[in-house]
Chains A and B, each alone.
Chain A
Amino acid sequence: MRITLKIWRQKDRNSEGRLVAYELSNVSPDMSFLEMLDMLNLGLARKGEDTVAFDHDCREGICGSCGLYINGRAHGPLGGVATCQLHMRSFRDGDTIVVEPWRARPFPVIKDLVVDRSTFDRIITAGGFISVRTGGAPDANTIPVPKPVAEEAFEAAACIGCGACVAACKNASAMLFVAAKVSQLALLPQGHAERKERVLKMVAQMDSEGFGYCSNTYACEAECPKQISVSYIARLNREYLRAKL
């Protein structure tokens, strides 16, 4: 396959960025999207040119490192996968592919396609946990959790923290990310003691980091590689209201 790439190149946080075109031939349909970028970088490195920086690690869709805006969609054209799970067979010979980083003010660009998502860590740090000291836990089976509740908590816990929800949202809202963690811990009986405090602190942190509000377009759900449902945002709103009353 022959592919034309238009890739966002930006030297650092404070520099201006721009799209740069690259031509690749001999792209195999069996390559993953990131392997296609590896191929581009191999060519650049051989010439001693700066390679295109992008975050990646597990390449199995679970670590949440990779995240590219591909032809105007977070994680590319497929639903339910991270960028690393996208293969070139999803494109056609001769295609032009535009590759950009996540575009959201709370995710500033570090270089090229790499962004800083430490705002997510700060939201978890603000309260996205159950306060339990090592060694203080009772026997695991002293806290029964009904299977449907455990399943619902699991669906929320599947979030990989990639940030596609924020990138896809026109308001750069982090509501789905926050909702997933708030819901997981509010659903489980272990999390009840800190239920109110947790949601207030996490939402306050979210707001202070500059994420926008949810306006119910559902773009986050559509682009979430783990297909986390927007119904958790409704649960977040209920949890928040409950804590405020």
Chain B
Amino acid sequence: MVLDAKIPDGALEKKWDNHRFHLNLVNPANKRKCHVIVVGTGLAGASAAASLAELGYQITSLCYHESPRRAHSIAAQGGINAPKNYANDGDSIYRLFYDTIKGGDYRAREANVYRLAQVSGCIIDQCVAQGVPFAREYGGLLNTRSFGGAQVSRTFYARGQTGQQLLLGAYQALCRQIGAGKVRFHDRREMLDVVVIDGRARGIVARNLIDGKIEIYAGDAVILATGGYGNVFYLSTNAKLSNATAIWRAYKRGAFFANPCFTQIHPTCIPVSSEHQSKLTLMSESLRNDGRIWVPKKRGDKRNPRDIPENERDYYLERLYPSFGNLVPRDVASRRAKEMCDDGYGVGPTGLAVYLDFADAIKNNGKEWVEEKYGNLFDMYRQITGENAYEVPMRIYPAVHYTMGGLWVDYNLMSTIPGLFVLGEANFSDHGANRLGASALMQGLADGYFIIPYTIGDYLVTARLKAADTSHAAFKDAQRCVENVTQKLLSARGKETVDEFHRRLGKIMWDHVGMARNAAGLKKALEMIPTLREEFWRNVVVPGSAGDFNQEPEKAHRVADFLELGELIAYDALHREESCGGHFREEHQTEENEAKRDDENFSYVAAWEFKEVGGRPALHKEPLVFEYVKPSQRSYK
């Protein structure tokens, strides 16, 4: 199969306009005959469902939460980028495009990224009109800040709760359509399969989490906006319920999975305190603007950090990167921290942490200044660790935060299954090998508000579909298949719980498929994961029954899928014999220990096709062409 990304012809800045003009339109009278199923109600799902309903389509929206407002987009802190150039500091659509391509280490499509930069300004307009309370200046106009090392001030924000406010905006737009009868919303439903008829996505199978019943939903197209797969590592900054099941089941029905090994590690998280830890908490990386990162020069130094004199401390980022210092990009800061700990310099009870010290900032600017800037983060740190970071340095450690990979989509956001569209973090599109700060919210809302409403119409016109029919055998088959898997999980009656298997998988992933990878470790993971998976099906215990509210089979389905996905990530990481962005192969680094890309051999999207569980997936390559931005090596010395 040849992957056709359907990139429109013409000059970069004209592609989206031209494309929109050439897309077929659905007659307004016919729109209400078209039925679209939207799975997930985060930024991408809620904005898509609301916008499509406004256009007149019939929408079914589902999420596994009790309310659309609980989706994990709500936890995003930092902000959302848009090149409005309100700060008059030289920003432009082209500059945001350029920064995103470069930040993604030249592994994203130029046309997609340019379109993202183009529509991002409209997102801010839309959200302000909805009543999103963005930060403002005294004159009443919108405030912006520079974020994540950007040289221009293009990040709009609502204190540290930007994701929450944007999601509530989209949620309220969705509620308006529910109230108008345009969206049928179903809470506590987890999608467990996609139904493909004559090669096209025609519906889904979902488990009703309240009564355990397996339900079927038919439609003319299916949109997955189901988020990322960071929880394959068990410990991550993702919410506990975030999972890959929807995209994984779609993959097993024929949707290709692109660049699964592109995972992002965030450097400033609160470290793991012990075995009981259930998730990790991120603190804004703005902390690195004023905090200094260090470890003791002596291995295993257990002294109180305040008793370690200046000359016995190693401010290693400042030493290694004199010009960027503590502000090196996320991936670099994360890797160096891990290396320090692996070499025995780590601090705290577990040795898996480095210090982030504000003593100098307090000395130079006063405690009040630090409090005003970072007070909420210091409070959060104290709540979780019980320590006062004004007096002792914070301890931080990197954690999995975002997954750039996801289901492969073309320029219209359609996967390799016709009629199955994928939005937001669930797709692989715009971030290449590394996502920039404040770009995730931008992409989720761009996909939902401003791209899918145009592109889905063209599919619905050209597909010439017959009415969806749940009596088709494919629905019954998929339903039976899901019921069987659920029953199999419940009847295993083994000795080890789902969470324990998840934790063991997470350890394999973190140790061998984590932020620094090598061939030997990846091969080891490729042996360990199938063994663990086999043990899971033999020895898992899932208490309770399938026919009522039971959170155990929910988790079991998700972990069963993670146990397959982990293997795919390892395959992808092993095959990509280069380092780029969030993917670091120890064999491929410069003399200065930086990522060494191989543009000659790996300037492509790796799209994997499912063959069989335990079997090797087939690799398809979509070449990446750079007509506007010339790939160059990053340097932060």
Q: Which residues of A contact B (CB under 8 A)?
A: 11-12, 28-32, 34-35, 38-39, 42, 44-51, 53, 55-60, 62-65, 81, 85, 87, 89, 110-111, 114, 116-118, 120-121, 124-141, 143-147, 150, 153-154, 157-158, 160-161, 184-185, 188, 190-191
Complex Cα spacing A110 to B176, Å? 26
Interface-central residue, A30, A48, A63, by most chain B CB under 10 Å: A63
| B330 at the A interface (CB under 8 A) | no
Closest Cβ neighbor of B126 among chain A residues: A137
Interface-central residue, B72, B125, B277, B450, by most chain A CB under 10 Å: B125
Closest Cβ neighbor of B278 among chain A residues: A35
We find that the number of chain B residues with CB closer than 8 angstroms to chain A is 82
Q: How far is the CB of A2 from chain B (nearest CB, A)?
A: 16
- Residues in chain A near residue B66, CB distance under 8 A: 55, 65, 116-118
| B84 at the A interface (CB under 8 A) | yes
Kindly identify which residue among B141, B158, B386, B497 contacts A87, using a CB–CB cutoff of 8 Å. Answer: B386
- Residues in chain B near residue A161, CB distance under 8 A: 67, 69
Q: How far is the CB of B436 from chain A (nearest CB, A)?
A: 21
Kindly identify which residue among A38, A117, A130, A146 contacts B129, using a CB–CB cutoff of 8 Å. Answer: A130
| 7 smallest beta-carbon distances between A and B, as pairs | A144-B140, A129-B172, A137-B129, A137-B125, A154-B133, A134-B51, A140-B128
Complex Cα spacing A157 to B161, Å? 10
- Residues in chain B near residue A133, CB distance under 8 A: 54
Complex Cα spacing A187 to B384, Å? 35
- Residues in chain B near residue A185, CB distance under 8 A: 131
- Residues in chain B near residue A44, CB distance under 8 A: 543
B172 near A42 (CB under 8 angstroms)? Answer: no
Complex Cα spacing A35 to B128, Å? 38
- Residues in chain A near residue B277, CB distance under 8 A: 35
A140 near B276 (CB under 8 angstroms)? Answer: no
CB-CB contacts of B394-430 with A at 8 A, as 1s and 0s?
0000000000000000000000000000000000000
Closest Cβ neighbor of A30 among chain B residues: B273
Kindly identify which residue among B67, B72, B138, B500 contacts A117, using a CB–CB cutoff of 8 Å. Answer: B67
| B74 at the A interface (CB under 8 A) | yes
Kindly identify which residue among B124, B449, B543 contacts A140, using a CB–CB cutoff of 8 Å. Answer: B124
Closest Cβ neighbor of A34 among chain B residues: B278
Of the 9-residue stretches B96-104, B505-513, B545-553, B594-602, which lies at the interface with chain A?
A: B545-553
Interface residues of B in 127-159 (CB under 8 A from A): 127-131, 133-142, 158-159
Q: How far is the CB of A198 from chain B (nearest CB, A)?
A: 11
Can you list 8 residue pairs at the A/B interface with Cβ under 8 Å? Answer: A28-B274, A48-B541, A50-B550, A57-B240, A130-B129, A132-B126, A132-B130, A138-B129
- Residues in chain B near residue A143, CB distance under 8 A: 128-129
Q: Which residues of B contact A (CB under 8 A)?
A: 47, 50-51, 54, 65-70, 72, 74-75, 84, 86, 122, 124-131, 133-142, 158-159, 161, 164-165, 168, 171-173, 175-176, 178-179, 187, 210, 239-241, 273-274, 276-279, 281, 383-386, 449-450, 453, 493, 495-500, 541-544, 548-552
- Residues in chain B near residue A157, CB distance under 8 A: 133, 158, 165, 168
B276 near A38 (CB under 8 angstroms)? Answer: yes
Complex Cα spacing A157 to B164, Å? 9
Complex Cα spacing A215 to B112, Å? 55
- Residues in chain A near residue B552, CB distance under 8 A: 45, 51
Known: A57-B240, A130-B130. A63 touches B549 (CB 8 A): no
B67 near A118 (CB under 8 angstroms)? Answer: yes
Closest Cβ neighbor of B449 among chain A residues: A134
A45 near B138 (CB under 8 angstroms)? Answer: no
B240 near A141 (CB under 8 angstroms)? Answer: no
A58 near B133 (CB under 8 angstroms)? Answer: no
Kindly identify which residue among B138, B210, B273, B499 contacts A147, using a CB–CB cutoff of 8 Å. Answer: B138
Complex Cα spacing A62 to B282, Å? 13
Closest Cβ neighbor of A116 among chain B residues: B66
- Residues in chain B near residue A116, CB distance under 8 A: 66
Complex Cα spacing A95 to B604, Å? 59
Kindly identify which residue among B50, B141, B210, B500 contacts A134, using a CB–CB cutoff of 8 Å. Answer: B50
Complex Cα spacing A129 to B139, Å? 26
A121 near B175 (CB under 8 angstroms)? Answer: yes
Closest Cβ neighbor of B279 among chain A residues: A59
A42 near B500 (CB under 8 angstroms)? Answer: yes
- Residues in chain B near residue A63, CB distance under 8 A: 70, 72, 74-75, 239
- Residues in chain B near residue A55, CB distance under 8 A: 66
